[in-house]
Amino acid sequence: MCTECLYEPEVDVKQTFPIDKLRKMHIKKQKQSKLQEIFKLANQGMKFKSMISLVENVMSKFAKIQKIQQTKFMI
């Protein structure tokens, strides 16, 4: 609770702190949240690239198999 709330009835002084401290805590949490979001996005990007690579490999193998089958068909 901020020190401005001291004037409210039934407020314990031990539960109050300066509003600047509250502001600093909020800014710190926002920065941590942004860093976590950036990390998640980077991680998702790496997973997406890996998935694309796997799809390319499968498509390449499929194309090779198709060429072999076409060659057999022509013979």
- pLDDT tens-digit readout, 16-58: 677 788 889 999 999 999 999 999 999 999 999 999 999 999 9
Residue 74, pLDDT score: 78
Residue 70, pLDDT score: 84
Q: Helices (H) and strands (E) in the chain — how many of each?
A: 1, 0
Q: Look up the pTM and report it.
A: 0.54
Which two tokens mark 22?
């509250």
Q: Where are the domains of the chain?
A: 3-74
**Where is mean pLDDT largest: 6-10, 17-21, 48-52, 65-69?**
48-52
Q: Is 54 exposed, middle or buried (0-12, 13-18, 19+ CB in 10 A)?
A: exposed
Is the pLDDT at 1 greater than 60? The verdict is no
